[in-house]
Structure 1
Amino acid sequence: MSSVTKKRPKPRVRNSTHPLQLLPREPSVALFPSKNELLKLFSVVVIAASVAGSCNYAVYFFNRQAKPFCESIDESYDPSADLCEPCPGNGWCSSGKLECFPGYKKHGRNCIEDGIINQTTRELSELLEQHVCDAYGQVLCNEPGRIWFQESDMMEIIEHHLPKNSINMNDDTSTFVKNKVMETVESILETKASYNRIKEFKCPDFLAELHKPLGCRVRQWIYKHLGIMAATLGLLVGLTKFILSIRHKSKLTTRAEQLYEQICEILQENAMRTRSGDNEGEPWVVASWLRDQLLLPRERKHTTLWKKVEELILEDSRIDQYPKLIKGESKVVLEWQVDGLLAEMLKKKFAMKAKAISNLGISSYASDGKKPQIAES
């Protein structure tokens, strides 16, 4: 019988892992919200708080009741009681209601100045000042006018120009405007009280000077500065005459020199022609003939020009001037006196000039296609 070998079971090996080790050592990231989720949550909370606050304020605003104004005549008002609102300046409070003084208008729960009334007051003040000063300015110019104006006269002017319909004034507002205008004018104009205690107004002298008529101011300025203007005018006239005389002398001298040069050329050519051997003409020229030949008709009326030319001729040693009997009448003649080398130079110059003129004539004939004709001897 075979022996059966029995195997002993192996002992179980115990797991030595601790139960706490089954948990993770670090918490998972999914357990906490991300940064974007936190921002969204914060935004939702802020919006909810804003909506709640706005609704609460709206309910308070629409459900509240305005406090009444404190009485203006009530001097026992206690600011700490907070039972009524103090009456603002420029206003009168009665039975909890506000009424603004004349010249002011209600703006919310305050009284502010009325711009239209202020503008009307300013325009009336300027108009009244202009009326009074214009009248005094006419008196200063010896014209019909007025110096002093009584208060009643001033009120009439204001009444005449007060635009009641344009700004819908009531009696209180009209009275306020009149008083305001009178206060403004009184600070500008001079005032005095007459024997019966009536106030009178007068424009200051320095303002009246500015309100004189324009023609009067011009006349007074001319009369005041007449001496200076006469001296200035005389100086200008004298200076103008002096400048014109210098200019006239300069033109006269220039013209005389031109005539003198022309006379010298004429005398030179005449002298060269008579000494060239042709024996044509006289070596002298009558001075009066030269004068009538060279001067323009309007220049012959002024003897100063020809006298200036005669002075230049007398100063020239090349020109000889002497009287000569011509046709039974004594006349002054001019003759060019040239000898020696200078005469030869002038003779050559005259010959060259004559040759140039001859060549010019031949060229002009050639350009026309014609031959010059020589006269038969």
Structure 2
Amino acid sequence: MTKPRVSASTSTAPSEWISLKEQLIQFAAIVGIAAFVAFTGITLIEWQKRESLPFCDYYASESCIPCPENARCSGKNMECLFGFTKHGKRCLRDQKIRKAIEAIDELIIEKFCGNYSLSLCKWTGPKQLTVFEIAQFVEHSELDKVLGIDSENFKLVKEEGQDAAIKRLNTRKNSQGLLELYCPIQLVEYYKPYRCRAWEWMLSYRNILLISCPLVFLAVVILSKAYLKQKISKRAEQLYIQVCQTLEAKSQNNMTGGETWVVASHLRDHLLTLNERKNGTVWYKVEQMVRRDSRIDQYPKLVKGESKVVWEWQGIMKRLIAK
């Protein structure tokens, strides 16, 4: 019996397919690398070419680069205008100058619109200003010293700050041909002083205030008196406890033959503060508590030739002995 023959083509086909696949991958990698190198080289050449081009002074073309905004160009040289700092091929606003311009702008708006709102609240204040008056106001404000800018640069900062403020205001020419500035209503409301806001609020709710204010005042008076009464009562209770402790301790002198009583006025001056002595209300309540206490006996006594009211602690044992 003869064995079947295996074809040579069937055994070599898979290896040939793998070899072809590897060749395709290698070819694709080579093409990709070549494309990347070519793209990078072209980009660098274009960048170098563009860097070597001069700036356009007055017009733009393929042989020059347009001069950036806020810059002054001459050939390959670029100089940023005042208030701007060079960042590569751009001129960006200098932070210190920007803050100075914003400060001048805000000062003008706040001063003018704040004063204008006063006139709406029946107080004195200009309703309009001229450009000259604004310039005078900024000139006398001495902002150059506050902002730390030299006088040469402050002139340009002042002009830009004034221009920024004028753009936010309404303008019109008067009969004399001068440009007058008016504050828009939205800025008037924003910069209106608190005293003006309070005055407007009181006028709007005057009927309610006429009714509620006396009621609020009466409630405050009643609550104040109630709080004061409670405070006096609490203080009187504290003093009454101290009086009882003092008299009870004094009664221990009975065993040694010492004085067992205390002059009421002396005890008062010892326990009360200076303000409480002037008022007398607190001690009056203490005296009422002493009168209602059966453990304390009060009677007149001649002390150093003067008649004094003295208090003496009776206690339970002393009352039993007396009986």
Q: TM-score range by the shorter chain?
A: 0.3 to 0.5
Which one has the bigger helix percentage?
Answer: 2
Q: Normalising by the residue count of structure 2, what TM-score does the alignment of the two structures yield? A: 0.46
Q: Normalising by the residue count of structure 1, what TM-score does the alignment of the two structures yield? A: 0.41
